[in-house]
A and B are shown apart, each in its own frame.
Chain A
């Protein structure tokens, strides 16, 4: 089974802090994604990566950056956390990135910014 793990289930940070969210997948998938999930807004794509050291902006990249130094690991970085970044963050991976490729999700990190 594909497993996508996220470093923390719950995280509490203060405004202005630099925040790292880590995601690791164990199935040699090419593509990795970061979403945020907010009630009534569904899942919105922040950034994705289709290869090591490659990244593409999603629909809501403002205030975020990403890093992918190794194939299995994709990090989401909040350079200076703000209260409007309080959310559930979901990482996902897919094998090749074709239209029919299933995305496998991690359990999520609930981030609270005070």
Chain B
């Protein structure tokens, strides 16, 4: 049972364009929503995260939009650059019995063409 659905699976964007990756979740117990970025040959690294009581969070060119009623959230990359080419994973955190675990989406491979 996939608890975090991510789309698209892959995305090609021209340099300077906007990249948009969408995620949806079902479990209302999720209480934190991070995005991880993974470059080839590296492990994922935290990019940006949002709490469910906030509708938007912006860090530089990266913005998360969060719609709690629709149980959806998305990552927007403004002015996309070739260096942003990576795989992006949305995730959701469940806190239970004193520890938290992450449930990841299946990932989006982003290619920003020069």
**Interface on A for B, CB 8 Å cutoff?**
4, 31, 33, 40-45, 48, 50, 56, 58, 90, 92, 94, 97-108
Contacts and interface: CB of A to CB of B under 8 A. Distances in A.
B43 A108 contact: yes
B54 interface: no
Counting from the closest, the 7 A-B pairs by CB-CB distance are: A105-B43, A97-B99, A42-B106, A99-B32, A43-B104, A50-B99, A99-B95
Main secondary structure, interface of B, reads strand
Contacts of B103: 45
Interface stretch (B44-52, B63-71, B75-83): B44-52
Contacts of B34: 102
Contacts of B31: 99
Contacts of B98: 50, 97
Interface residues of B, number: 27
Contacts of B89: 42-43
Contacts of A31: 99
B107 to A, nearest CB: 5
Nearest to B32: A99
A103 B46 CA distance: 7
Given A40-B106, A42-B106, A102-B46, A107 B95 contact: no
Contacts of A45: 101-103
B106 A107 contact: no
Interface string B94-114: 110011111111110000000
16 contacts: A42-B6, A48-B101, A50-B99, A58-B101, A94-B100, A97-B99, A98-B95, A99-B95, A100-B51, A102-B46, A104-B45, A105-B45, A106-B43, A107-B41, A108-B42, A108-B43
A95 to B, nearest CB: 11
B28 to A, nearest CB: 14
B7 interface: no
Contacts of A108: 42-43
